[in-house]
Copies of this chain bind each other. A is one copy, B any other.
Amino acid sequence: MFLTASELSRFASRYRANLMNTISGYKSANLIGTRSVEGINNLAIFNSVLHMGSKPPLLGLLFRPLTVRRDTYENIKSTGYFTVNAVDKTIFRQAHQTAAKYAQDTSEFEATGLTEKFIDGIPAPFVKESPIQLGCAYENEYPIAENGTLLVLGAIKTIEFQDTMLQTDGSLALNRAEIVSSVGLDGYALPTLLERLHYAKPDIPTRSLEDGTQEN
Query: Does residue A179 face the partner (Cβ distance < 8 Å to B)?
Result: yes
Q: Contacts A5-B156, A151-B142, A189-B193: A14 and B180 contacting too (C-beta < 8 A)?
A: no
- How far in angstroms is the closest Cβ of chain B from A27? 7
Kindly identify, within residues 1 to 36 of chain A, every residue whose CB is under 8 Å from any CB belonging to chain B: 1-5, 8-9, 11, 13-30
**CA–CA, A198 to B145, complex, Å?**
31
- How far in angstroms is the closest Cβ of chain B from A53? 4
Q: Contacts A56-B147, A184-B171, A192-B189: A93 and B155 contacting too (C-beta < 8 A)?
A: no
Oligomeric state, in copies: 2
Report the nearest B residue to A192, measured CB to CB.
Answer: B190
**CA–CA, A52 to B216, complex, Å?**
34
**CA–CA, A198 to B97, complex, Å?**
9
Task: Give the most central of A89, A98, A139, A158: most B CB within 10 Å.
Answer: A158
Check if A171 sits within 8 Å of B53, measured CB to CB: no
Check if B179 sits within 8 Å of A174, measured CB to CB: no
Check if A3 sits within 8 Å of B160, measured CB to CB: yes
- How far in angstroms is the closest Cβ of chain B from A58? 6
Contact check: which of B14, B111, B159 meets A216 at CB < 8 Å? B14
Report the nearest B residue to A84, measured CB to CB.
Answer: B24
Query: Does residue A124 face the partner (Cβ distance < 8 Å to B)?
Result: no
Contact check: which of B18, B144, B185, B202 meets A100 at CB < 8 Å? B202
Task: Give the most central of A11, A15, A198: most B CB within 10 Å.
Answer: A15
Check if B163 sits within 8 Å of A20, measured CB to CB: no
Query: Does residue A186 face the partner (Cβ distance < 8 Å to B)?
Result: yes
Contact check: which of B24, B84, B140 meets A49 at CB < 8 Å? B24
Question: 1/0 per residue A180-199: CB within 8 Å of B?
Answer: 11011111111111111111
Check if A170 sits within 8 Å of B14, measured CB to CB: yes
Check if B93 sits within 8 Å of A19, measured CB to CB: no
Query: Does residue A78 face the partner (Cβ distance < 8 Å to B)?
Result: no
**CA–CA, A2 to B135, complex, Å?**
11
- Minimum-distance CB pairs A-B, first 7: A25-B28, A189-B191, A15-B170, A26-B181, A18-B170, A100-B200, A20-B54
